[in-house]
Amino acid sequence: MKNNSTSQWIEDFEGNNMPETIVSSGCGGWVNIEGNERAYEAVSGHSCLNLGHGHSELIDVVADSLKNLSYCSPEHLSPSSIALSERLSTLLGGNYMVKYSLSGSSSNEIALSIARRRWKALGHANKTVCISLDRSYHGNLGQAQYVTGFEAFRVEGRPDNTDFVHISSARNANTGALFSLTEIQTQIENTVASIGAERIACLFVEPVNFAGGVIVPPKGYLKLLRKLCDQYEITLIVDEVITGFGRSGAWFAFQQEMIRPDIVTMGKGITAGYFPLAAVAVDKRIYDELQHHQVPLKMVITMAGHPVGCSIALKAIEIVERDNLCAQVTSNEQVIRATLNLIADLPIISEIRGFGHMWGLEFCDFNGYSSANIATQVAQDCEHNGCIVAAADGIIRINPPLNMSEDECDHMLKVITDAVNTITANLAAG
């Protein structure tokens, strides 16, 4: 459907024109859509609205911060930017240096530049190749678009670049089965042998390829990548833009495997969606290497590290910690898993997978209808009945706010399971 009544240009990741859905207001996890009843945000806006709309504490922080310091140059420090960098370093395990950015895309672009400059500083100027996964999403601006591997999100006209190599995710695209750790190791070792470790700068990985289909790797996956990156002297960059700040049931999803990344990129939930802010956390060892060899980053972003955004992020982190939301996410996971398992054997369902507050329902072709068409029908039925989910490439994605109540969880799950049951019956009837 084309947009005719507004001057705003909107389309989805796949380049499709979107229906003119006008969200007029929001409260908590709910939004009001013009022409419809209110609906629950089961996708947290765009994977960022971790604490819902209109949170009074966050609103108060915005007002107070604007009154105190409305802006601060990224070449200067502010009390809130200092405090947030220290807080982030602590949450990540300590001894990280934080560079602020504006979005997940810009964070990943900065991380890529840091990895390459690191090896140049150490005398390995040929280490420029970036490895990422074929179902990955790391943004679609600048060089981040090259890091992104998911074909559905590939920017039209993006040329191939030999400095960017995409290997298979943890899930076999042909069979749908997870690769074993042995198979994953063999693939990576073969890739390294083909390219040459002396040319590889970094490996990007999302703990869960959420946008790429909610691909949950086997346990031990991140530990394996850490071991191999150490073995071949490759900088390990973990993209926590979607998975960070509690969505996995831990502050950061990589912490569930107790590894230490060289670089961590963050965005979205860092301010619970209340302000554009993102960050890159770099192991201080790498920062010290760049400083020692006098290799500057030369990346100054006007609005990065905005004092208002940093103040909001500090308060959002405080709320998640105070209200024990990581534990709440883990508890909700059990309810979500048990309920979705009740529809897992329906003929339109190929697979249901996920954990924490990150879930995917993958559909299959059925009775003459494609999986993509079925996913769209389910999403439309959900929105009609008061629950917003995300549909793309035949998969429904669900990632509700961290502070979802028991009643909201029940509502979300009832709408989704009812929609799947209804569409199944309709398609089976022909």
pLDDT at 4: 56
Rounded to an integer, what distance in angstroms lies between the CA atom of residue 318 and that of residue 325? 11
pLDDT at 157: 67
pTM over 0.75, yes/no: yes
pLDDT at 244: 98
Structural domains of the chain ordered from first start: 58-322 (3.40.640.10), 324-428 (3.90.1150.10)
pLDDT at 425: 97
Ranges of residues in the chain whose predicted pLDDT is under 50? 1
Rounded to an integer, what distance in angstroms lies between the CA atom of residue 341 and that of residue 338? 5
Give the residue carrying structure tokens 């240009």: 9
pLDDT at 1: 41
pLDDT at 370: 97
pLDDT in tens, 136-178: 999 988 899 999 998 877 777 677 789 999 999 999 877 889 9
- 52, 408 Cβ separation under 8 angstroms: no
- 36, 384 Cβ separation under 8 angstroms: yes
Closest CA to 58 of 320, 307, 313: 313
Rounded to an integer, what distance in angstroms lies between the CA atom of residue 154 and that of residue 173? 17
- 278, 103 Cβ separation under 8 angstroms: yes
pLDDT in tens, 73-111: 999 999 999 999 999 999 999 999 999 999 999 999 999
What's the half-sphere exposure (Cβ side, CA atoms, 13 Å) at 268?
A: 26
Rounded to an integer, what distance in angstroms lies between the CA atom of residue 391 and that of residue 229? 34
